[in-house]
Structure 1
């Protein structure tokens, strides 16, 4: 008896590069959890080998590194990419980041627009004038080419509305949030005790942390000034700063230290691979930023670990933290205001903080679990393969609630929404 086997859906992911930034990490998490009995993923990096290349290969997934990200519109480079796609024979092409999205569109054009095309946009658009001329040019090109995408996936409503306001196609928009491993990032008493012991932090100390990816986008100066104010009223507090460049040797930190000496209970840990353990060290998580280039993953990771969060009102954080934390107006956030809120939360007691943390954890498990998010991507792939082979693959799509946000953004805040970054 002949066995009836269903052909796997081949999805080729084309990404600007595989450095461990927010978009590349989301792609990695998606690939690590995708149902390999139904889908056959392939990754093409326009850049060279990077942090995640071999981690993806370890899952049995082919990764090509083309070293072409700086020559994206050179004809022979696009021909090279198109030739590779022709040999792979994908069912769907998915672009990631601006350069990756543009490359998918140009390569698919050279192949006669034969494949359904997904764009993935995880960037906010605040101030395009601060970006390089090349980046601004790529954004303009993707705006003009956005109607060639069968579907444009954003990870927040704000990202969608900002891009639509500068001219991105609004007929094929879908919002899929970032996903998180809520088994890895979860409350863990052993990790809490072990991390505190390694850092020399007493069990009865209050620990406040800020974990970031990009030093330039976050206000570490304000955070450190607030630590000095809080320590005047509460001595048994330790502070963890985690992220690239957050080491005592970095020039930016040295400059901060010249203005204000660093107390011994402020720990500058730099970039770490064990953030799931370090998160459990905390009693309070704070993210103090005036802008964001992508989605602040660390807030979701802290909430998943049951840590209550204080953040500024960037991206969708007011909606995400909701009644489980506190959101500060960026314009009103000062060192004294932050220190005062920290003191209030400390005085509220451990039981209150744990209750807030558990509410936040439940929300993340319900809305940001990587398995549920992966299911949303998989459902989109199946829909495009099953129903997308008509009208040049441009499917009618029911717009979600982001459309109301887009209209509000366009009418009331068009100035801020028409600015951008890569």
Structure 2
């Protein structure tokens, strides 16, 4: 079966990484899989091409080029001649739907990776509303990564009978705890081996709630002055003046490190003791799943499918509530190291049993096969 994936971008992002991991687990089928990005090629394009996947770019850079992209995509799909086209994110769903007017005998699957309707982006909101109308005519199936995303989009007018949920999958073994990695990274960061360290891994964005986290830290540091907090992600660095202001408002700003974007996330997860996700909104968060793979105890807000992910093993904080977040994190920190280790083991067991990359690949393959019968 020939499958073509159409995605808005191949830069680093949630949906982009899910696609990359999905394809990386199917190298044996690389010759039957192609990828088209609407925007100019991102860093993941080269990585996919290196391992044998065919990657194309439509070079969309604005609304005008978006119009021409429909014809370019139609021509390209005629050459590729796939059995199934899987699109990812609103813009790709919309463009592939328009291209279907000129194509025959192709099955279409859409992908939805958000639990929040577009805010402050009128063009994206309009495309989403157009997709809601088109959903009743064009796609054969619509894949949501979270039950919360399914419910939101049904309320927004999407065809309920076409929607299925396939949770994100994780390469569990890549994040296995390794004492050597922990010691090496702690030496690099000049962290005492015995210090309790809390990690927050996400790009700086209002949805990710780093401001809420720093407000919670102001409360926490009064009773926990020895705890070290690590912020990791694009924009979490010394150049971020807003972040610096919030850090300096905390009782012990020297215990808060902003490390910026890093590529050694498995090592970082080995180096911390507790993972915290203070997001205002998520669907099926990758960073949280990776922390579970690393057998870390987690503290998170009750957004998207986080409750389902964690399987009621964790007391979740209220979104956008620094007091609630501080209370949940304080409870975990106040418990023994053995309690935290057992919580981490339980979360590792859950992600291994329910959300492995192999399970995700199997679900997508079963979906595509069902469209051919």
2-structure distance, mates of 1:248, 1:214: 12
Q: Which residue of 1 aligns with 2:356?
A: 369
Matches within 5 A, 1:283-298: 283-292=273-282, 294-298=283-287
Q: Residue deviations 1:86-131, cap 9 Å, x none?
A: 11111111111111111111111222x42011101111234x4x23
CA deviation vs aligned residue, 1:28-84 (integer Å, no higher than 9, x gap): 001100262497110011110112110111111011011126347865432221111
Residue 249 (structure 1) aligned to one of 220, 228, 239? 239
Would you say 1:360 and 2:337 are equivalent positions?
A: no
Aligned to 2:338: 351
Q: 1:215 aligns with which of 182, 185, 205?
A: 205
- Shift in CA distance, 195/86, structure 1 to aligned 2, threshold 3 Å: same
Distance 1:280 1:378, change over 3 A: same
Gaps of 5+ in 1: 1-8, 388-422
Q: Specify which structure has the bigger relative contact order, considering alpha-carbon pairs within 8 angstroms and separated by 6 or more residues.
A: 1
1:383 corresponds to which residue? Answer: 370
Question: What is the alpha-carbon distance in structure 1 between the residues aligned to residue 65 and residue 93 of structure 2?
Answer: 12
Does structure 1 residue 11 correspond to structure 2 residue 3? yes
**1-structure distance, mates of 2:122, 2:325:** 37
Q: Does 1:146 align with 2:138?
A: no
| Residue 383 of structure 1, CA deviation | 1.8
Instruction: Tell me the residue number matched to 2:322.
Output: 334
Partner of 1:83: 75
Note the C-alpha offset of 1:268. 0.6
Would the alpha carbon gap of residues 115 and 277 (structure 1) be closer, same or farther in structure 2, given more than 3 Å must change? same
Measured on the aligned residues, the alpha-carbon RMSD in Å equals 2.0
> Which segment drifts farther, 130-139 or 52-61?
130-139
Is residue 116 from structure 1 mapped to residue 103 from structure 2 by the alignment?
no
Q: Does 1:307 align with 2:287?
A: no
- Single out whichever of 46-55 and 253-262 deviates more from structure 2: 253-262
Q: Is the 8 A contact 1:16 1:69 kept in 2?
A: no
**Counterparts in 2 of 1:263 and 1:365: CA distance versus 1, 3 Å:** same
The answer (yes or no) to whether the contact 2:31–2:53 under 8 Å persists in 1 is no
Cα pair distance change 1:351/1:257, threshold 3 Å = closer
Alignment of 1:59-208 (within 5 A): 59-68=51-60, 70-71=62-63, 76-111=68-103, 113-126=104-117, 128=118, 130-147=119-136, 148-208=138-198
Aligned length: 372
> Does structure 1 residue 229 correspond to structure 2 residue 216?
no
Structure label with greater radius of gyration: 1
- Between the aligned partners of 1:168 and 1:338, the Cα distance in structure 2 is 34
Q: Say which SS state the counterpart of residue 107 (structure 1) adopts.
A: helix
Q: SS of the residue aligned with 2:161?
A: coil
Q: Deviations over 1:323-366 (max 9, x none)?
A: 432201226x334x444443332231111110110000000001
How big is the shift at 1:261? Answer: 7.1
Q: Does the 8 Å contact 2:3/2:83 carry over to 1?
A: yes
SS of residue paired to 1:94: strand
Deviation at 1:219, TM superposition (A): 2.4
Indicate how the Cα distance of structure 1 residues 158 and 214 shifts in structure 2: closer, same or farther if over 3 A, else same.
Answer: farther
**CA spacing shift, 1:118–1:340, aligned 2, 3 Å:** closer
Report the TM-score when normalising by structure 1. 0.83
Residues 101 and 214 of structure 1, relative CA distance in 2, 3 Å threshold: farther
> Under a length normalisation based on structure 2, what TM-score does the superposition of the two structures give?
0.94
In structure 2, the CA distance between the partners of 1:205 and 1:123, relative to structure 1 (3 Å rule), is same
CA contact (8 A) 1:241 1:268 kept: yes
Q: Which sits farther off after the overlay, 300-309 or 224-233?
A: 224-233
Matched residues in 1 for 2:123 and 2:19: separation?
24
Residue of structure 1 equivalent to 2:257: 267
Distance 1:35 1:65 in 2: 21
Q: 1:215–1:243: 8 Å Cα contact kept in structure 2? A: no
CA deviation after TM superposition for structure 1 residue 173, in Å: 1.5
Residue 255 of structure 1, CA deviation: 3.5
